[in-house]
Amino acid sequence: MTLPALFFGLVLSSLYGAAFHLWKGGGLKKLLLFLILAWVGFWAGHLLAARLGWTFLALGPVNTGMATLGSALVLFVGDWLSQVEVQRK
């Protein structure tokens, strides 16, 4: 993996997190959460696809298709889990 490919993945996953934040709303904490979730999901999807030997919309060494799906999955699950409220007795 080249340095430009890592930079491309970081920029693309950051765009996914920022777009999700624009759609769902929230403050600075939510933006940071969505960025981190997008980064984790993007690289997890990329690594899973590389491990399984799948290529889906690959752009250079980055498996963009599976990385995008991984990012979306982690963003939706992370947003859903972040909405859980703890009730105190």
**pTM value?**
0.88
Task: Give the pLDDT of residue 25.
Answer: 87
pLDDT given at position 35 = 96
Q: What are the CA-CA distances from residue 81 to residues 10, 13, 38, 45, 75 (Å)?
A: 24, 20, 15, 19, 10
- Quote the pLDDT of residue 16: 97
Q: Where are the domains of the chain?
A: 26-84
What confidence score (pLDDT) does residue 30 get?
93
pLDDT score for 60: 87
Q: What angle do CA 7, 68, 35 make, to 5 degrees?
A: 60
- pLDDT the model gives residue 54: 87
**pLDDT average per 10 residues of sequence, the chain (89 residues):** 91 96 92 96 95 88 94 96 84
